[in-house]
Amino acid sequence: MARNKETLLLLIDVGPSMHNALPEIEKVCFSLIQKKLIFTKYDEVGVILFGTQDTNNELTNEVGGYEHVVVLRKIGVVDVDLLETLQPLARGTHSGDFLDAIIVGMDMLIKKYGVTNKGKKRLCLITNAICPIKPSNEGTEDDQVTIIADKMNAHGMKMESIVVRGKLIAEADKKIMDENDRLLNIFSKRTRAKLVHVESPISLLGALRTRNISPVTAFRGDLEVSPKLKIKIWVYKKTAEEKFPTLKKYSDKAPATDKLATHEVKVDFEYKRVEDPSTVVPPEQRIKGYRYGPQVVPISSAEWYAVKFKPEKSVKVLGFTDAGNIMRHYYMKDAYVFIPEPGKTKAILAVSALARAMKEANKVAILRCVWRQGQGNVVVGVLTPNISDRDNIPDSFYFNVLPFAEDVREFQFPSFSNLPASMQPTDQQQEAADRFVQMFDLAPPDKEEALLPEFTPNPALERFYRYLELKSKHPDEAVPPLDETLSKITEPDPELISQNKSVLDEFRMAFNLKENPKLKKSTSRSLQDKPSGSNDRKGYALLPAPSANPDTNESKSFVKVEEIGNVTPIEDFEAMISRRDSPKWVNKAIAEMKKRIFNLVEDSYNGDNYPKAVECLAALRKGCILEQEPKQFNDFLHHIFKFCQEKFLTCFCEFVASTQITLISKTEAADSEFTDEEARRFVGKPEPMME
């Protein structure tokens, strides 16, 4: 077998007790084959059904027994025909014996690949395990399972057991279920087997690993605790975002008779001079440039390589801190798992001792990581102990990347405790909100937790794969509606909402919500209602643009101001700074308002523009407080006061002081450098001009 090639055998229980779950099982198996066709088209798949009316397998012919087990498809390279085989699955008439199915599947793998433990061989058992298994002719059931498990290990086989029960638990014999669960747990303990219980179609969709991703180490080397203490470790990614498959460009211009045509489209770029578009610039005459203020600074590849940070490959402990000091929202990017190097007893003991000591002391480690030689950046993160609860799995660590100062986004908001009593929730409102939150608890008592990350597939990816398969067969087919199972991931549970209608009604009635009438006014009407310079501008956002035809949809659109004009600078500033379609608008609004104020002061004749300049200054101050940009306003006020003193325009400074406009203090914005007293004193006593 090839190194990354996998052979998968699906063992599916189709007995009478599984009939209700089979439609969802068909979807899961269908999705699995679709992804193999896209990502691993050389994998091999076989399908075995048990609980069937008929019997069709080689072991029955050779040694007898193993009844009601049918080999639906022998092991072969995955193809489109397999999709048809799985749609629909035959409904069985007998109780399924999962041990018989496992033995038949192992026999098929051994006959195909011989006595070897090489290659990736996986059995996937899907059953509800509520039917009794046949008694063993030799030894106890435990002995039989132990022999099977040892055979699996000898031949390098893995097994996944997905137990689908749902609402069947109340109807089934609990004694039989417990006994079957105990036998399946023996597989988990003695082999590389995984046992998963699912109760809902969503969990079933995510329980079966539909794409086999080979584990690749991000780092192999020493965990350097100190210069004299180094532990051999391997580092793997624990989580990584699964993205859409790359969609390549293909052309249909190749002749239909050309069987060797790849239909691939190649893209070439040419660089030409602005002053002479007919001249192509060769690669040796091109150089990258970087914006630095108004100029472009050229930097060659050699210079860029020389200035790059080139740390040595290493993973070093910088120190330890209390686990409570690292906030969960600091975690960035993907998560990693640190394991001791396999086969190294000393490394396993050292990792276990360190992890247990950290767990007992409630500490985490701060690490500096350079995963590979030549990596252009350094990663600093937190190492958290992960104590194993299984004897055959050693202790390990989880690693999460932490942000640097440039990566942190701090947004200051006033505390609810500082609001007046009229704006605080009443006891009745608080109780209604508490019941509303409890109603949507995803982990209610005695029920499977909903939307567990490891069992919840990405609905966008699943929908894409299903449509891709449909498009391959029917090119002109319309996009189908969202599948019911996928819609349950993206929408609230309608059954839960109907059961708790009284809670929803109570929550809705506890809060008297009113529509903001200002959002319905046109721009011109709003400007008439609110005089320029007014400080009462609460509730203003993007205002609807006027339309020549009030009956059209244009009357409902919002103005998107892109520059601050001379006529209504305050309204333009407020509209621009409230835009959230790009982060650039806040800085642009502040910069343009500074320029507008500066021009009003500089172009003033005998102070005729001072009142308008102060109104703009007040609006700028309020905007900088709302956006938590105190430094921009404070620096500008310092700058304009200094300018006025140099140009003998101190009357403007006095006018500003008379309006009680001050620097932004720490009380108003936490990032400010000035106390309330310092902010007031600056405007009250302008600095004298230096001669």
Q: Angle, nearest 10°, between helix axes 610-626 and 569-577?
A: 10
Phi, psi of 418, rounded to the nearest 5 degrees = -85, -5
Taking 80 as the threshold, does the pLDDT of residue 600 lie above it? Answer: yes
Omega before residue 88 within 30° of 0, cis: yes
**Beta carbons within 8 Å of 269's beta carbon, 6+ residues apart:** none
Element (H, E) at 220: strand 217-226
Looking at the chain, the domain(s) classified CATH 3.40.50.410 span 6-207
**Beta carbons within 8 Å of 15's beta carbon, 6+ residues apart:** 50, 51, 92, 93, 94, 95, 96, 131
Q: How far apart (Å, rounded) are the C-alpha atoms in residues 572 and 560?
A: 9
Lookup result for tokens 């988990």: 188
Contact 81, 52 (CB under 8 A): no
Which tokens is 473 given? Answer: 């067969």
Exposed (0-12), middle (13-18) or buried (19+): which is 624, by Cβ within 10 Å?
Answer: buried
Specify the pLDDT at position 500: 87
- Going by the DSSP 8-state scheme, the letter that residue 663 receives in this structure is P
Task: Give the HSE-up count for residue 17: Cα atoms under 13 Å, Cβ half-sphere.
Answer: 25
| 40-60 pLDDT, tens digit each | 888 899 999 999 999 999 999
Q: How many CB atoms lie within 10 A of CB 194?
A: 15
Cα→Cα distances 77→12, 81, 115, 408, 620, Å: 19, 11, 21, 49, 68
Residue 396 DSSP SS3: strand
Cα→Cα distances 63→67, 187, 516, 672, Å: 11, 25, 80, 85
| Amino acid at site 254 | A
Rg of the chain over all Cα atoms, to the nearest angstrom = 35
Contact 543, 575 (CB under 8 A): yes
Looking at the chain, the domain(s) classified CATH 2.40.290.10 span 216-239+250-410
Class of domain 216-239+250-410: mainly beta
Q: Angle, nearest 10°, between helix axes 569-577 and 584-602?
A: 160
Contact 385, 353 (CB under 8 A): no
144-149-154 Cα angle (round to 5): 125
Specify the pLDDT at position 220: 95
Residue 49 DSSP SS3: strand
Quick one: which of 186, 162, 142 has its CA closest to 13?
162
- 3.40.190.10, 1.25.40.240, 1.20.59.10, 3.40.1350.10: which CATH number matches 569-682? 1.25.40.240
| 485-519 pLDDT, tens digit each | 888 888 888 888 888 889 999 988 888 776 655 54
| 275-291 pLDDT, tens digit each | 888 889 998 888 888 88
Specify the pLDDT at position 689: 41
Q: Angle, nearest 10°, between helix axes 650-658 and 676-684?
A: 130
Specify the pLDDT at position 171: 67
Exposed (0-12), middle (13-18) or buried (19+): which is 30, by Cβ within 10 Å?
Answer: middle
Give the alpha-carbon dihedral of 631, 636, 638, 640, to 10 degrees: 180
Q: Report residue 134's pLDDT band, with 50, 70 and 90 as the boundaries.
A: confident
Residue 227 DSSP SS3: coil
Contact 65, 104 (CB under 8 A): no
Lookup result for tokens 């067969």: 473
Handedness of CA 545, 546, 552, 556 (dihedral sign): positive
Q: How far apart (Å, rounded) are the C-alpha atoms in residues 349 and 342?
A: 12
**pTM over cut 0.75:** no
Residue 51 DSSP SS3: coil
Quick one: which of 175, 45, 154 has its CA closest to 105?
45
Question: Among residues of the chain, what percentage have pLDDT more than 70?
Answer: 89
Specify the pLDDT at position 117: 61
Give per-residue burial for 512-536: e unless 16+ CB within 10 Å, then b: eeeeeebeebbbeeebeebeeeeee
Q: How far apart (Å, rounded) are the C-alpha atoms in residues 9 and 15?
A: 18
Lookup result for tokens 């303990």: 189
Q: How many CB atoms lie within 10 A of CB 548?
A: 7
Quick one: which of 386, 381, 378, 395 has its CA closest to 326?
381
In this predicted model, which residue has the larger pLDDT, 216 or 649? 216
Quick one: which of 575, 598, 600, 599 has its CA closest to 588?
575
Taking 80 as the threshold, does the pLDDT of residue 414 lie above it? Answer: no
Furthest-apart CA atoms within the chain: distance in Å: 111
Q: How far apart (Å, rounded) are the C-alpha atoms in residues 476 and 466?
A: 15
Q: What mean pLDDT comes out for the span 220-229?
A: 94
Taking 60 as the threshold, does the pLDDT of residue 1 lie above it? Answer: no
Q: What mean pLDDT comes out for the span 129-143?
A: 82
β pairing state of 379-386 and 363-370: antiparallel
Taking 70 as the threshold, does the pLDDT of residue 602 lie above it? Answer: yes
Phi, psi of 314, rounded to the nearest 5 degrees = -175, 160
Looking at the chain, the domain(s) classified CATH 1.25.40.240 span 569-682
Q: How many CB atoms lie within 10 A of CB 158?
A: 17
Taking 90 as the threshold, does the pLDDT of residue 606 lie above it? Answer: no
Contact 347, 407 (CB under 8 A): no
Phi, psi of 686, rounded to the nearest 5 degrees = -60, 140
| Amino acid at site 336 | Y
HEC assignment per residue over 120-138 = EEEEEEEECCCCCCCCCCC
16-195-110 Cα angle (round to 5): 85
Which segment of 171-175, 455-459, 588-592 scores lowest on mean pLDDT?
A: 171-175
Element (H, E) at 74: strand 69-77
Q: Report residue 125's pLDDT band, with 50, 70 and 90 as the boundaries.
A: very high
Contact 585, 593 (CB under 8 A): no
Question: Among residues of the chain, what percentage have pLDDT more than 90?
Answer: 25
Q: How far apart (Å, rounded) are the C-alpha atoms in residues 392 and 543?
A: 64
Handedness of CA 176, 178, 182, 187 (dihedral sign): positive
Lookup result for tokens 């012919």: 61
- What is the fold of 6-207? Rossmann fold (3.40.50)
Contact 205, 28 (CB under 8 A): yes
Which tokens is 679 given? Answer: 């902010």
Taking 60 as the threshold, does the pLDDT of residue 19 lie above it? Answer: yes
Q: What mean pLDDT comes out for the span 90-116?
A: 89
| 235-275 pLDDT, tens digit each | 999 988 888 877 778 888 888 788 788 888 888 888 888 88
Specify the pLDDT at position 522: 41
HEC assignment per residue over 444-469 = CCCCCCCCCHHHCCCHHHHHHHHHHH
Q: Give the end-to-end CA distance of the chain in Å, rounded to a whole number.
A: 87
